[in-house]
A = this chain, B = another copy of it.
């Protein structure tokens, strides 16, 4: 590892995030804008994004210093919130953008368009627009598929859709996904990585597409499948 003096002479190479996936999500959104890689170190149990356990921190840093790491660029999803024709907010998410119902109302009504083509009206608790990285988070809990990080796609997953034939929809990440909120007098809520967000009102539009930013994850070993097997208790050979 570098001494404090050596660090001071260098520009910031990467950021070590100690915590769980939640902590990393928050740091990753900030670092994505300035292009600095992050290394996720879990303080508790293994996370999808925080693979390095605390006791391997120094060995990992040593490995990075020795050039045995690689940077994995994870795509993000961007959204603009349009109210009466004006963009009132914009967000980038590493995992997902979620348009959900308010507390009391059971169903969230919205219309979805992809590249201008009408897809369907949805009645559901929420509608998730997830990146491949987010496909192992909330979207998975809602019945979505797992996307390898290298798949150039986004997935639109409804939560508890009223119609049993609504299923997760995988779209090219060159698509524009537009969600029009039809809640009448009820409030809906926009969530960004489950951490940030804002209330939504009838007629609001959420325009989603692949972000121009990426999160750079620093990784030293192991495959995406090693993490899946460990987290999901998949079968070993």
Binding site for B on A (CB under 8 A): 100, 102-104, 106, 111, 114, 117-126, 135, 138, 140-148, 150-153, 155, 159-172, 175, 189, 191, 194, 197, 223-225, 228-229, 232-237
Contacts and interface: CB of A to CB of B under 8 A. Distances in A.
A70 to B, nearest CB: 15
Interface centre among A111, A162, A165 (most CB of B within 10 A): A165
Contact of A159 (B151, B160, B165): B160
Nearest 6 interchain pairs by C-beta:
A121-B235, A165-B232, A120-B234, A145-B168, A106-B194, A141-B160
A67 to B, nearest CB: 22
Contacts of A124: 141
Contacts of A194: 106
Contacts of A117: 223-225
A141 B159 CA distance: 8
8 contacts: A120-B228, A125-B126, A125-B159, A138-B160, A143-B143, A144-B145, A146-B169, A152-B152
